[in-house]
Amino acid sequence: MSARPYPSPLRYPGGKLKVANYVKYLFEVNDLLDGDYAEPYAGGASVALSLLFGEYASRIFINDLDLAVYAFWHSVLEETEGLAKRITDTKVDLIERENQQRILKSEDSSLLERGFAAFYLNRTNRSGIILGGVIGGKDQTGDWKVDARFNKKELIRRIKKIARHRNCIHLSNLDAAVFLDEVVPKMSDRSLTYLDPPYYVKGQGLYKNAYTPEEHAAVADKVIALKKKWLVSYDDAPEIIELYKDFRPLEYGLTYSAQDRRKGGEVMFFSKDLVVPKILNPSEVSDQAILKLYA
């Protein structure tokens, strides 16, 4: 299979795009086509964008509590040309990276300034972690340099493509629990909400808004109470299995990147009204498998 095109301008750990075809499959077999799709933890929003661009979902609802991530998506949708100009005009080097770190931390930064800073650090830091170390290290002596993931022309192309779909994209900056209470109930009956919360075990090292065990439990209570179809993915931890013990689990391995071939243990849970196909690994659904649905 050819390399799957990456719809998002952001890089995120966890490889959520790998399950995009699986979510498309769910849309097909559950008669959700042209319905709504929501991600309370949008991050790079790669699955949402894949569904929108592929005309599976007619509207996507992307939400992130992290102000930096929200500011980026706001800039994509509302200040597209300003964001593109900053990408074109700004140097990609260690000095500018330090400047963008200061901008991101400043309370006086505008949404565009903050959004661009978040984007800049996402594209220049290892694994896209905004608070992480720089690609190539501070001495820049490795094979990869700070600008290795900063193809300006391609990134601007992605941003402008998303902006052309702005009327179908609903953006919010809410706590996930509030999003589940206030946004999801107003969505179409033909909808799917996909939650990919911060990892239970490794979340403290990856996410700015990592959860405590109590917060994981509180979100689980909100999810279980939903009247709409939902899907949850997590790292495969016993504590998470217990929280969702009344729902069907699907455990599988997820390869994180081409450079790092290790497998991470993942688990999915499904609302009881969701038709679940007999697929052993959601991260390995090919484009051909999707096409067979139309044969």
Exposed (0-12), middle (13-18) or buried (19+): which is 110, by Cβ within 10 Å?
Answer: middle
pLDDT of residue 295: 60
SS3 254: strand
Angle at 188 between CA 187 and CA 192, to 5 degrees: 80
CA–CA dist 32, 194 (Å, integer):
13
CA–CA dist 252, 64 (Å, integer):
26
- E strand spans, 40-95: 57-63
SS3 268: strand
Which runs of consecutive H residues, i.e. helices, occur in 106-235? 111-124, 152-164, 176-182, 203-206, 213-224
Domain coordinates of the chain in residue numbers? 16-65+174-292, 72-161
DSSP 182: H
Domain spanning 16-65+174-292, CATH architecture: 3-Layer(aba) Sandwich (3.40)
Using the predicted structure, report yes or no on whether residue 123 has a pLDDT greater than 70: yes
* Predicted TM-score (pTM) of this structure: 0.92
Region 141-170 average pLDDT: 96
Using the predicted structure, report yes or no on whether residue 262 has a pLDDT greater than 50: no
Using the predicted structure, report yes or no on whether residue 264 has a pLDDT greater than 80: no
What are 29's two structure tokens? 């077999």
SS3 91: coil
The residue type of 201 is V
pLDDT band at 68 (very low <50, low <70, confident <90, very high): very high
pLDDT of residue 78: 98
The residue type of 248 is R
Contact 117, 138 (CB under 8 A): no
Region 115-139 average pLDDT: 94
